Amino acid sequence: MGRIFKQYLDEVSTKIYGCASCRSHVADADAIVSKAFQGRHGRAYLVDAVVNVSEGPREERLLITGLHTVADIACTGCAAVLGWKYVQAFEEAQRYKEGRFIIEKARVVKEGVGW
């Protein structure tokens, strides 16, 4: 296993979400598509892009909106599971989620200024 390099979002935005366990940067607030999603542990955000996460194995999961192929995402700093990536949606109306990520509100903290 090699050295892990973290990406920092300070230069890009002043509103950042970080891992609640180790504070590694996870997502820029501008990448949020929707705040009206449900995760395993409550409210969640649908985001376009994340950093400092690793993707787990793909699996089919029956969610509130139907069957999806997803992969859990974990923080590269501390290995805490933060949410999942939508790999494939089987219903046409849900295809907009493909390639996007769910980060659970309970698993992240707000960082930066301007909140």
How does pLDDT run across 3-59, given as a tens digit for each residue?
A: 566 777 766 567 899 999 999 999 999 999 999 999 999 999 999 999 999 999 999
3-class secondary-structure state, position 93: helix
3-class secondary-structure state, position 86: strand
DSSP 4-73: ------TTT-SEEEEETTT--EEEEGGGEEEEEEEETTEEEEEES---SEEEEEEEEEEETTEEEEEEEE
Which phi and psi (to 5°) does residue 37 adopt? Answer: -110, 160
Evaluate whether the domain defined by 15-112 bears CATH number 2.60.40.1120.
no
Domains of the chain, residue spans: 15-112
The mean pLDDT value for 54-83 works out to: 96
